[in-house]
Structure 1
């Protein structure tokens, strides 16, 4: 067993070096399991275990019938780790909300310099649709899209991945949270006013205005969650 563990770790280290050396890039396909086993002189079981772990951690994507591809989607492993921590009561929603608020504030500050016109227009479109929509499911999707676009606009992949991981935990364990927050017209309007101020701050490159909008946004959310005992 110990020998097999060392073998699959050796396979992982082999591909790690290939990636670090630039010999494997995102989108490239890994050789067949048999070829990897022969090249590294290990069993196919060791290769399969290495591939399973690399798939779980987001290094590769296993596509049935097609093969294994380098993806480097590390947000996947972040989300899984945070989900398990939440499930085992190592973290709670309050802590997730705190880190999410800190990261969204950082995302906004970075987006002032990095956001494209297209991203700002995408956020404005989501806010306008939120104003008109009476559909709970659509409202949730629009809210997620707006915040995801802000994370993208930061230009920082780590900020984007951590925020996406936080969102994944929220969706996994507090299924109806977003819908409940957006369900009443008063709450939806209050949050959307924060969204509008956020975008105004982005367009005006007014950091204080945008950060104040985010502060109000998360204060509203945390008050609602406190009412629910989260």
Structure 2
């Protein structure tokens, strides 16, 4: 029997990132019911001190949990635990943190299919108050365009609001899964000032189409936006 030339086939195993450990610890506390829906987490500074971790690692963990809708950030109030079934808490957590760049080709294809359709649906269902909320998010994003972290949260909030305005619970569940996979791509593109400024313009066009209740225009505006973001992501590779 000839020995196989394995070489570096199996490679070495990477250690679990600190951010993932932080997120899993918070998830464990929720599963153990030491943290319950509606509970407010300690401040970022206090939580970092209690867990003896750096604030950048803590922020990455909190951002991932926000994308997964496990915690929510309330402006001026802090981070709160949302209502979520414990059995769903660990699912896909690793994918929130690490994906091969090649996977993002498929991810952006999925987002284009899903989010253009959701924008089209939202154009027919959105209320005046929801339009006002979107306009407020665009306005705040423009004002905070130089703050990458704040911009990331505002970007996610706007896209989630459009998903809700579509009034389709099944598609909303699918988008929740896609959002779990998109943390890294959103964070990477949000680091670019040029992409942030273009995103403000794109979001304004999307909201304008939604306000006009024009499904075709909303779909087209969303497609243009996601295509630009995908190109920006690739340019940063």
Residue 141 of structure 1 pairs with residue 157 of structure 2: no
Measured in 2, the distance between the counterparts of 1:106 and 1:153 equals 12
- What is the RMSD of the two structures over their aligned residues, measured on CA atoms? 3.4
Residue 102 of structure 1 pairs with residue 113 of structure 2: yes
Measured in 2, the distance between the counterparts of 1:109 and 1:102 equals 11
> What TM-score, normalized by structure 2, do the two folds share?
0.58
Deviation, structure 1 residue 125:
0.5
C-alpha distance 61-95 of structure 1, shift in aligned 2 (>3 A): same
Write out per-residue CA displacement over residues 55-83 of structure 1, whole angstroms, 9 at most, x where no aligned residue. 99xxx9662388xxxx7759947x83485
- Conservation of the 8 A alpha-carbon contact between 2:141 and 2:200: yes
> What TM-score, normalized by structure 1, do the two folds share?
0.59
Structure 2 counterparts to residues 1-230 of structure 1, below 5 A: 63-64=33-34, 73=85, 76=88, 80-81=91-92, 83-84=94-95, 92-133=103-144, 134-171=146-183, 173-174=184-185, 176-181=187-192, 183-184=193-194, 187-229=195-237
In structure 1, stretches of 5+ residues that fail to align are: 1-54
Write out per-residue CA displacement over residues 74-129 of structure 1, whole angstroms, 9 at most, x where no aligned residue. 9947x83485599586x711111111121111111211222222221111101011
Measured in 1, the distance between the counterparts of 2:135 and 2:124 equals 18
Measured in 1, the distance between the counterparts of 2:136 and 2:224 equals 21
Measured in 2, the distance between the counterparts of 1:61 and 1:122 equals 33
Q: How many residues align?
A: 164
Measured in 1, the distance between the counterparts of 2:155 and 2:31 equals 28
Q: When you count helix as a share of all residues, which structure comes out higher?
A: 1
Larger Rg: 1
SS at 2:206's partner residue? helix
C-alpha distance 156-190 of structure 1, shift in aligned 2 (>3 A): same
Measured in 2, the distance between the counterparts of 1:74 and 1:127 equals 34
Measured in 1, the distance between the counterparts of 2:163 and 2:174 equals 9
Measured in 2, the distance between the counterparts of 1:178 and 1:75 equals 31
- Say which structure, 1 or 2, has more relative contact order (CA 8 Å, 6+ apart): 2
Measured in 2, the distance between the counterparts of 1:170 and 1:126 equals 20
Deviation, structure 1 residue 144:
0.7
C-alpha distance 94-170 of structure 1, shift in aligned 2 (>3 A): same
